[in-house]
Amino acid sequence: MADDKGLVPAVGTRPRKRRLSYELIECAVHGHRLIGADAARVRPEDALLVRETADGMRWHRCLRCDAWLPLPAPERPEREVPPSREEIELPLRGRPLRDRYVLRLIAIDRLLHFLVLGVLAVAVFVFAHERRRLKGPFYRIVDDLQNGVGGPSGVRGHGLLGDLDRAFAAHTKTLWLIGLVIAAYAVLEGVEAIGLWRAARWAEYLTFVATAVLLVPEVWELTHRVSALKICTLVINLAVVIYLLFAKRLFGLRGGGRAEEAQRAHDNGWQALERVLPGPH
């Protein structure tokens, strides 16, 4: 029996469960992926992707979300027949498409870390190079601010002035070393962001190791002082570690890389399109 759109499911297939469809989100943003809309004629072997009814209307199947869309035959076709399978680049769908969304969300988080750490590293380098010239203005500004909010004025060793004392007393080499460490960490975050955006397997391992190592000092910090920002950071990093470890099957977990490739092949490729074959009635 056809549904309200005039489509019938393939024999032996079960209706899909309602779930968050990343395919529909992708199609809403980038449009449907249709094949054969510019072809002069449609062959029987093209039925997986495009079919023509008796009245001349063509039904095109989206390669991503499996929706069938009616289109008239082109008035000025650009090719004789639809392209062969070898000419078609199939879009991501299923779990690989979901993973791309999640990995790119993590990549954006790492990009923000890169920007913040990069600015901080530059600030440390500038301070190390110009601290003699900056010492007087810094003390005057901070002293005025501290006095303006009711704090002590001109008292060394307390409040912000005490922190400045320790910063200006630090050895130049120490400041440069701190700046280099922060800069190196910023570069690491930037590399993670680029690799995750491209869904590179090495970036998943790199992000897992770097994030897992940071969990130890984050937990230690919470034992001394609890804040909403620290808790949020810990929760996000824990979620990233758990997702990469289990969903991406790192270190051989749940079958490892072979199982990951098998899942990708199951959800993508021509076999996936043939396995779910709805069609116009």
Blockwise average pLDDT, block size 10, the chain, 281 residues: 42 50 92 93 92 89 93 91 93 92 96 93 83 61 50 47 62 84 94 96 96 92 86 93 94 89 87 74 49
- The CA R_g of the chain, rounded to the nearest whole Å, is 29
Q: Look at residue 198 in the predicted model and tell me its pLDDT.
A: 95
Q: Look at residue 125 in the predicted model and tell me its pLDDT.
A: 87
Q: Look at residue 279 in the predicted model and tell me its pLDDT.
A: 54
* Residue 106 structure tokens: 């993590």
Cβ neighbours of residue 165 under 8 Å, at least 6 residues apart?
Answer: 156, 157
CA distance 35 to 86: 13
User: Three-state SS for 8?
Assistant: strand
Give the largest Cα separation in the chain, rounded.
91
Angle at alpha carbon of residue 268, lines to 95 and 105, rounded to 5°:
35
Q: Look at residue 269 in the predicted model and tell me its pLDDT.
A: 86
Q: Look at residue 4 in the predicted model and tell me its pLDDT.
A: 42
Neighbours of 62 (CB within 10 A): 20
Per the document, the length of the chain is: 281
Q: Look at residue 175 in the predicted model and tell me its pLDDT.
A: 81
Q: Look at residue 78 in the predicted model and tell me its pLDDT.
A: 92
CB 189 within 8 A of CB 117: yes
Q: Look at residue 137 in the predicted model and tell me its pLDDT.
A: 59
Q: Look at residue 277 in the predicted model and tell me its pLDDT.
A: 66
User: How far are the Cα atoms of 34, 94, 99, 126, 172 from residue 87, in angstroms, in the given order?
Assistant: 13, 22, 25, 54, 61
Q: Look at residue 257 in the predicted model and tell me its pLDDT.
A: 87
Q: Which of the 8 DSSP states describes residue 41?
A: -
CA distance 54 to 56: 5
The sign of the dihedral angle between the CA atoms of 81, 84, 89, 92 is positive
Q: Look at residue 144 in the predicted model and tell me its pLDDT.
A: 55
pTM: 0.75
